[in-house]
Amino acid sequence: MRLPRRLARTWTAGAGCALALLIASGLGARADRNDRTDRSEGLRAFGEIAKVLRHPRCLNCHTTTSFPRQGDDRHPHANLVRRGPEDRGVPGMACGTCHQAENNPASGVPGKPGWRLAPLSMGWEGLADGELCRVFKDPRRNGGRDLPALTRHLASDPLVAYGWDPGGNRQPVPVPREELVQLMRAWTSAGAPCAAARAAGAPSAAAAAAAAAAAAH
């Protein structure tokens, strides 16, 4: 029995659509998997970047306070040093009163050109990965830098260079600078993903650490 020509055409068209849908959904699933892979790779890359951002060489001047910290134990900076209105200390006691353009082998005082604190908007202390990531890449908080500018900043800023050349017996940041740049590129090409925000009421990493420390005593 022959199908009426019109019905056959309809079936053919329907089968074609179904096939197209099947292929499309298959591709979509693969794209989803790729997205998920990209995202997880991006998050992993940022996890490594965060190790640098949280290192004392960076965090001591990326504070959320009115003062910098110093040392691998991150104690408040000696001499009651203040951040000041422009993040360069206060009249009579500016960063440049002691810190010059190079590490000083005679006094042991570290130095690099433009020694200063990061602005408060770039304070990273106490931030979980997701929050740190969002603050880090937000141009309203990071000095107006888009992702390529952030990478360039980490790759070539002379003050950032201090992290790898701290002088004395200070520990340098744990990830080589070239590797950090590669991590930035990997994170960027994955869409610069950030971990989801904590559920409301969940303790931050800092709060959890404080609670654990309190429990230990």
**CB-side exposure of 154: number of CA atoms within 13 Å?**
26
Exactly one of 4, 91, 144, 201 binds another protein (CB under 8 A); which one?
Answer: 91
Distance between CA atoms of residues 214 and 103, nearest Å: 38
* By the rule CB under 8 A, 98 interacts with another protein: yes
Q: If we measure between CA atoms, which residue out of 163, 159, 160, 152 comes closest to residue 185? A: 152
* By the rule CB under 8 A, 108 interacts with another protein: yes
Distance between CA atoms of residues 5 and 43, nearest Å: 56
Exactly one of 38, 44, 76, 94 binds another protein (CB under 8 A); which one?
Answer: 94
Cβ proximity of 197 and 131 under 8 Å: yes
* By the rule CB under 8 A, 97 interacts with another protein: yes
* By the rule CB under 8 A, 186 interacts with another protein: no
Q: How far is the CB of 93 from another protein (least distance, A)?
A: 5
Q: Which stretch binds another protein (CB under 8 A): 13-21, 29-37, 85-93, 118-126?
A: 85-93
Exactly one of 1, 2, 78, 144 binds another protein (CB under 8 A); which one?
Answer: 78
Distance between CA atoms of residues 98 and 201, nearest Å: 44
Count interface residues toward another protein (CB under 8 A). Answer: 22
